Structure 1
């Protein structure tokens, strides 16, 4: 089964992780919010889902 995953917050990471590990599921795309400034310095940081998706490629 092919799916596209939509999610941004950290609580979505375990769900995407399980989908990636499942041999019957092919994650063909991931949609998440753009990188945003965070912290006192305003450093632009990617969402946890973006980090996971890039590592999985």
Structure 2
């Protein structure tokens, strides 16, 4: 996960660039899938998506 100090630095820099509002969002999503044919597993898969971003509003 992102440390508090990194979060604070990123938000401060975003606001210094002229933004009126800034927020950080983080996503960590896992998925699993099974494909069945005639009650038999034909395919199994799993995945994970991780990402982060900064939203900045400038008026």
Higher helix share: 1
Higher strand share: 2
- For the aligned pair, the TM-score class normalised by the smaller chain equals under 0.3
The structure with the largest alpha-carbon Rg is 2
TM-score, length-scaled by structure 1: 0.22
TM-score, length-scaled by structure 2: 0.22
